[in-house]
Amino acid sequence: MKIFITGSSGFIGFSVAKHLMNAGHNVHGFDNHNKYYDVNLKKSRKKILAKYKNFSFTKGSIENEKSLKNSILKFKPSVILHFAAQAGVRYSLDNPKIYLYSNIIGTFNVIEIAKLSKVKHLLIASSSSVYGANKNIPFKEIDKTETQLSIYASTKKATESLAHSYSSLWQMPITMMRFFTVYGPWGRPDMALFKFTEAILIGKKIQVYNYGKHSRDFTYIDDIVEGVIRVLDKPAQPNLHWIGDNPDAGSSRAPWRIFNIGNNSSVKLIDFIEAIEEVLGIKAEKEFLPMQPGDVLETYADVDDLFREFGYKPSMHFKQGIANFTKWYREYYL
């Protein structure tokens, strides 16, 4: 297949692109290499992708409709994977407008051009953050998601709604993928594992929010890639049993679906930190702080739908995943 990937130099986009090209598919990457975190890390990922003969690339922003349109129409993909976004919950508190431009306007451009180019399947990255104040644990796709707690989360929810409208009006097969706290080699510097590992190794104090009491469904990058690959081959189909009187929030009479892609477990932050300390052989100096604005107490993915339809089952235990990350970190940075 010919697959177009936005955010191809990002953590997930890079990892999925490698897998697809190893399987023989042609991939065109699209990324703006913005400065939200270390640009050199993004360039290093792109350099690895560029070694593949079945990879091509355009540097550009999804907010730039002309550049994005020219790139997609020239490549003529059968599938578009849309990973590009302005990430980060806390950054969104101080820079909300960036999220509106990138996550809403940028995603609108991707969907509109996907419609124009008549791709067979459009897959869009969403986030566990959309569950917001929902306390039904584990989170299920059928749960209502009307109470987001951050600007980032609200923009992700908005893209889900926008995608459904397009799918309903033009019968576009669109799959939304709600990712749960992704970690692993080549991960993002703004995420907990990266920040803690970096700080511990240089003897810097780590900040532990909510006194280490909150929990996350930490999902290893290979399990994320596996989930993406499994849904990629099967375009979303209408749910013919869907009824408005008792609506299923994860499906529709349109060819639009939502899938959680997570580890199907929840780990307390303090236990995650202890595992990092164990792997590094260093005890962290901790600064315990209260819950931060925009944070949720717990995330936990119900992946029954993904298992039932695709046989997906995450396999990486978080302690082994941490060990894999720290090995990569030392090799790359030290």
Structure tokens, 184: 């692993």
User: Coil, strand, or helix at residue 10?
Assistant: coil
In angstroms, the CA 195 to CA 272 distance is: 13
Crossing angle of the two packed helices 151-170 and 106-117, in degrees rounded to 10 = 20
Q: Would you tell me how many other CB atoms lie within 10 Å of the CB of residue 329?
A: 19
> What are φ and ψ of residue 131, in 5° steps?
-70, -20
**Of residues 37, 131, 152, 166, which has the active-site annotation?**
152
CA 72 to CA 110: how far, in whole Å? 9
Rounded CA-CA distance 240/242 in Å is: 6
Q: Nearest CA to 180 among 265, 84, 90? A: 265
Three-state secondary-structure class, residue 59:
strand
| Tokens read off for 181 | 């706290």
Question: What are the contacts of 100-105 at 24+ separation with CB within 8 A?
Answer: 100/155, 101/63, 102/61, 102/62, 102/63, 103/152, 103/155, 103/156, 103/158, 103/159, 104/155, 104/158, 104/159, 104/162, 105/63
- End-to-end CA, the chain: 38
- CA separation for the pair 238, 248 (Å, rounded): 12
37 given a catalytic annotation: no
Between CA 304 and CA 296 the distance in angstroms is: 22
Distance CA 204, CA 8 (A): 32
Where in the sequence numbering do the catalytic residues fall? 152
